[in-house]
Structure 1
Amino acid sequence: MSFARKHFQKHSAISAAKTAAEFGSMQDLSFYELHLAQLNNDRHRLKQIQSTEAKVQLKTNLLPNYLPYVDGILEANKSVQDEVFMTILVWCMDVGDYSKALEMAEFALLHNMAMPDRFERKTATLVTEEIANAFLKQLKTNADVDIDVLLHLEKLVIRGDVDAQLLDMPDQVKAKLFVALGKAKIKLITNKDEPSESDLAYAKDALAYLERAVELDDRCGGKQDHKTMETLLKKFGDQTVS
């Protein structure tokens, strides 16, 4: 997409959002309807594909067509329900663009934007569960894990300055996030036999996250790691942990 086209789409989205804010909905606005029609066409294309990998690749290719619109909505900073915006939020998570997804999720929560009915879960629940599940899967491999994404998510949905009702979610979902955080902290430990002060600090953080996870969901899958960290800290507990 050319720079001029991106510029046009972004500023058209800003204008549409500002106009819609007067009525509380993006419905019946031609620019929004144009993107919604394109989204429905692209969703139809995705439904024809059975391979999850192929769907992710198609979404990766399609996303640049929508991001200028998304940036326009973000810049307009209006509380308007928007199916296009919320669907692209999910697509960003699907393709692993968590930075953009969390930027959009924070905006959606601050403006009380609901997920389209087909997603069934509330915004905070869906975002937390999808990202936590993705990281729990990744943590089973030797791949590097960007713990900052999980910390950003924790700040948003656990300690965020958002209406508590909007952050309400099943304890099991919240536990998944804490397990992912605990395991991610463990992954940062470089030597469990002769842990450094940093290693022990990571272990202490991991233990706290896993303890909270087990409190929320006894079947969260964090018990063994919790026991391991507890043992590690008891063994080397006389070392200073800042």
Structure 2
Amino acid sequence: MRLSPGMRDNLAKRHQVSIATADQQTAVPQASADSLHLKIVELDQDRAELRARFTRVADRVEHKRMVLIPKYAPLAEQFLASGKSYDNPVFSTVLVWLFDVGELEKAIDWCLKSIELDVPTPDYIKRGWPTFCADQVLEWAEANAKHGNSVEPYFSQVADKVTTTWKIHEQIVAKFYKFKGLQLLRNEDGDIAITSVGSVETLNKAKAILKQAEDVYAKAGVASNIKKIDARIRALETGKNL
């Protein structure tokens, strides 16, 4: 079939449009990659300035909260909303900072999504997200519990993942069981006061949880607590006050 000059001209124009469209589609990822690269360079500079400018941990935390997180969070949120999975140091660093400043609700939510998307941790974090999240939340929970403050809902949210879903080291799993058991034995001031617990049911529940810690990891360090619980139960059952 012979094409008329007009038909040939239309085909040529469509071909040119197709080439231009393909070029644009190819250029977008490259532009995005270049933009991310520039932001990573800027991020590295800000992190270096953070270390050089602030000596006290509290000052660094405040700078992250007031300056760095607001600066980089929109980029991190865009990445998360895209649903894509690749190494994004801007996003992963903001996520670490969220734990640093105590924004646990968002930090845990982002962490769960990072695990789902298989996004790696920053180079300077030598752990995967499950272990990092578990360590951070347990540290936060221990600090709050000692002052009699609530650790919920964040502790239970992560403890459920640690004890049922995440494949992490047994020692960490045991630490969560240990903390959960000891929580039942704290007084209003946050002190572990086994001799002040007046409920045999509570004591037995705490003992069962502590034994789970020992079952998971033999060196969980709960043996002395279990002995004290047993002594307290005997005292309550015999009417003796220890």
With the length of structure 1 as denominator, give the TM-score of the two structures. Answer: 0.69
Aligned residues, how many? 204
- Compared CA separation, residues 228 and 145, structure 1 to 2 (3 A): farther
Match of 1:172 in 2: 171
Question: Does the alignment pair 1:43 with 2:47?
Answer: yes
Residue 66 (structure 1) shift: 2.5
Which structure has the bigger radius of gyration?
2
CA contact (8 A) 1:147 1:184 kept: no
CA contact (8 A) 2:99 2:107 kept: yes
Unaligned runs of 5+ in 1: 1-18, 161-166, 238-242
Match of 2:122 in 1: 116
Partners of 2:48 and 2:230 in 1: how far apart? 50
* Partner secondary structure for residue 185 of structure 2: helix
Aligned partner of 2:33 among 28, 31, 35: 28
- Compared CA separation, residues 44 and 97, structure 1 to 2 (3 A): same
CA contact (8 A) 2:214 2:222 kept: yes
Question: Does the alignment pair 1:206 with 2:212?
Answer: no
Question: Does the alignment pair 1:148 with 2:153?
Answer: yes
- Compared CA separation, residues 157 and 235, structure 1 to 2 (3 A): same
* Partner secondary structure for residue 121 of structure 1: coil
Match of 1:129 in 2: 135
Unaligned runs of 5+ in 2: 1-24, 190-194, 238-242
What is the aligned-residue identity percentage?
Answer: 20
**Residues 41-65 of structure 1 deviation map (CA, whole Å, 9 limit, x = unaligned):** 2211221122112211111112222
2:163 maps to amino acid:
I
- Compared CA separation, residues 82 and 112, structure 1 to 2 (3 A): same
More helix by share: 2
CA contact (8 A) 1:115 1:121 kept: yes
CA contact (8 A) 1:138 1:145 kept: yes
- Compared CA separation, residues 205 and 52, structure 1 to 2 (3 A): farther
2:173 maps to amino acid:
K
**Residues 159-215 of structure 1 deviation map (CA, whole Å, 9 limit, x = unaligned):** 23xxxxxx33222222222222223343478994543xxx945x5553333222223
